[in-house]
Amino acid sequence: MTPRHKKSPQPIQALFRKLLPREFRQQRAQNEHFQQFFSGHKGDAVFQMVRLLNVTEQYLHVSLPNPALANYFRLHGQEVRQQIKQQFGQDLQLKISVEPQGDESATQPKYNPLPHYSAEVTEQIGRSADAVEDDELKAALKSLSRTLHDKDQQ
């Protein structure tokens, strides 16, 4: 029997390096410099909210959390382009998108507790349900009355 040659497994990092483009590290570093450029503007809070999406040879694509801030940024676009040209030596067109950031309420359902109703109100809903002719609506109103009454008892 011939001995098997075991190939030693390559580290995942080495595998990924083969897949990434050659200029990946340089592009990543450049993106970090652009992001720091926006984050470093102490005088303008809008600049600090800019999130860099992509940089190409012609465009700088950024996002802001809402349309009003994006419009403000568009208004100052020429000034931004001039600052980028001075600091990075590149004359880039700005592409501005709106993407809400860190809005966890949009991904998680809101908990809306039932409002507090007095026993008088819940009884009135129950009595009104008796006067309704539609059986499904009557059952729904009765159920609502019981739910609100039970909640009031807790």
60-92 pLDDT tens trace: 999 999 998 899 889 999 999 999 999 999 999
Long-range contacts of 114-119 (CB under 8 A, 24+ apart): 114/147, 114/148, 114/151, 116/151, 116/152, 117/148, 117/152, 118/152, 119/149, 119/152
Q: What is the percent of the chain where pLDDT is above 90?
A: 19
d(Cα 41, Cα 107) in Å, to the nearest integer?
Answer: 30
Which CATH number does 19-106 carry? 3.30.300.180
Question: What is the separation of C-alpha 108 from the centre of its chain, rounded to a whole number of angstroms?
Answer: 12
104-138 pLDDT tens trace: 555 555 555 556 667 777 788 888 888 888 898 88
Q: Partners of 55 in the beta sheet?
A: 60
Domain edges within the chain = 19-106, 119-153
To which residue do tokens 């999406």 refer? 53
The torsion region of residue 102 among left (phi > 0), alpha (psi -120 to 50) and beta comes to left
